[in-house]
Amino acid sequence: MKFTALQIATHISGTIEGDETTSVNGFSKIEEGKEGDISFLANPKYEDHLYATKASIVVVSNVLELRQTVKPTLIRVSDPYASFAKLMRYYQNLLSTNLVGIEQPSFVHPSAQIGKNVYIAAFTYVGENVIIGDNVKLYPHTFLGNGVTVGDNTTIFAGVKIYHLCSIGNHVLIHAGTVIGSDGFGFAPQSDGIYKKVPQLGNVTVEDYVEIGANVCIDRATMGSTTIKMGTKLDNLVQIAHNVEVGQNTVVAAQAGISGSTKIGNHVTIGGQAGIVGHIQIADGAKINGQSGISKSIREKDTTVTGSPAFEFSSAMRSQAIFRRLPDLDKKIKELENLVEIMLKEKEELSS
């Protein structure tokens, strides 16, 4: 598919500098651009590449002042990064619009309700009383258990398993290998030392505009729902335990784990490999640095914490600064001890 500079500028509300008939059929980084590609410049550190790139069209900022002439046609916008992302999403949607229909072999239970323009790939299993909205795409080896609901315009990539009674919203993107609705980690210790499984009777509810990375595990609730609220983004390899609630527009980086019944607020940022204990609350806007260990609630909004156990960021930085100075402080203490010892000996000599 080819697009002209005029078509692109119209789509992203940009202003053209150069030939509006210039056409492109691919995307590239500005430093790797070649003829027929469109690229973008958002970071000033890469401006030198603008004057050397072979890309045919480059999306740049309205406020960029050129140091020399450029070969590509420029499209000026207020936010090059956001505009380029919009173009990529549009192109991705065009590529997938021809995926419609039910491939074989696959299994779709007769009681399932299938919306319009749905794509169900080969080796997919759709269980009893499943409800699938319009424009949904299920890639190969997707499993939808009995009673699952999937909203409109949702894409579920290969090998995703969604257990019974779980609910997926509209415009959700779930990447390969993710498991939603597996049993929560609930076991009751017995007097004889064994652990007896506690039935996990709840479900998982994923609201609209959520993106879930590859190989994420979200456990079903013991009772009620484990909930991922609107607009939240989960990176690859994230673990969400039973009865957790993750607020709106929260982001969780790879290998983070959230233990059972913890409530995460809105607009929270959780760094990679962070661990959060169960039955606590994280306030709106909190920022948790990577590899932090959260052992108690964060109750004040917009707090930044770091370390394990984690504590307030500025205090942690001051503590780290002191920690780095400990060898010098130890040396000074020993010098002071020696000086005190000498002074005491001199005092004893004088008194005698």
Q: Which of 11, 109, 175, 242 is catalytic?
A: 242
| Count of CB atoms situated within 10 Å of the CB of 253 | 20
Beta bridge partners of 114: 132
Give the integer Cα–Cα distance in Å for 144 and 142: 7
If you write DSSP's letter for every residue of 165-206 in order, what string do you get? T-EE-TT-EE-TT-EEEEPP--EEE-TTS-EEEPP---EEEE
Rounded distance between C-alpha atoms, residue 52 and residue 72, angstroms: 10
Amino acid at 43: N
Rounded CA separation 182/3 (Å): 45
Q: Which is nearest to 61 in space by CA: 41, 46, 45?
A: 41
User: Is-catalytic flag, 175?
Assistant: no
Please name which of 140, 138, 149, 139 lies closest in space to residue 112, comparing C-alpha atoms.
149
CA dihedral of residues 253, 254, 259, 264 (deg, nearest 10): 10
β-sheet with 37-40: strand ranges across: 15-17, 73-77, 57-61, 37-40, 26-27
| Rg of the chain in Å (alpha carbons) | 28
Q: Tokens in use for 175?
A: 């990447």
**Residues tagged active-site:** 242
